[in-house]
Amino acid sequence: MNFESFFGIIQVFVAIGLVVSAAAAIRFKNLIAAVLAMAVFSLILSLEFYVLQAPDVAIAEAGVGACLTTAMYLLAIKNTTDEEVIE
Amino acid sequence: MIEGVFFYSALVVMIGAFLALLRVFFGPSVPDRVVGVDTLNTLVVAGMVLLGAAYDRTIYIDIAIVYALLSYIGTLAIAKYLQGGLR
């Protein structure tokens, strides 16, 4: 197997994972499950930056997506209610 | 050809990560999804190390180290939220 076919297979896997996790982050009703799906999306996006050979962008994306965004969203969900307000 | 071996093993690890992504997507409860995300983090770190060996760049291993640390912090934040201790 040469480099180009391997690169294409990895790109197909990463693209399917990105689409699936993005759809899950939008469609989940449970807010904790949506935050988990968003963390998975950030992880796969960081892997995509890694595969495309941009290591500094991958480090920044991993730091922001895995640690900061998850903790901030969890703090926001903790301090609010997860029910829709019906007027 | 030693790099082809690393390409094959990285592809096998990616298939395992895809199965863990299915667990995140179809998991009936939130702790199932947390365990799926933790498995996905570990498999992607392993895939990043193998891809760093396949690309033959030493600097790419640092991203795997950073992500192994940050995924631990993210999983710990979600676990503390589910326990009820997140302030």
Residues in chain A predicted with pLDDT less than 50, given as ranges, are none
Give the predicted TM-score (pTM) of the model. 0.88
Tell me, what's the pLDDT at A6? 76
Tell me, what's the pLDDT at B3? 67
Which chain B residues are closer than 8 Å to A50 by Cβ?
Answer: 48, 51, 60, 63
What is the CB-side half-sphere exposure of residue A36 using CA atoms within 13 A?
31
Nearest to A67 among B25, B73, B87 (CB): B73
Q: What is d(CA A20, CA A25) in angstroms, rounded to the nearest whole number?
A: 9
Condensed to tens digits (0 to 9), the pLDDT of residues B35-65 reads 999 999 999 999 999 988 888 888 889 889 9
Q: What is d(CA A21, CA A52) in angstroms, rounded to the nearest whole number?
A: 20
Task: Find, in chain A, the residue whose alpha carbon is nearest to that of B61.
Answer: A55
Residues 6+ apart with CB under 8 A from A58: A46, A47, A49, A50, B63
Which chain B residues are closer than 8 Å to A47 by Cβ?
Answer: 44, 47-48
DSSP annotation of A86 reads P
Residue B69 has phi, psi (to 5 degrees) of -70, -45
A:B CB pairs within 8 Å: 100
Tell me, what's the pLDDT at B11? 86
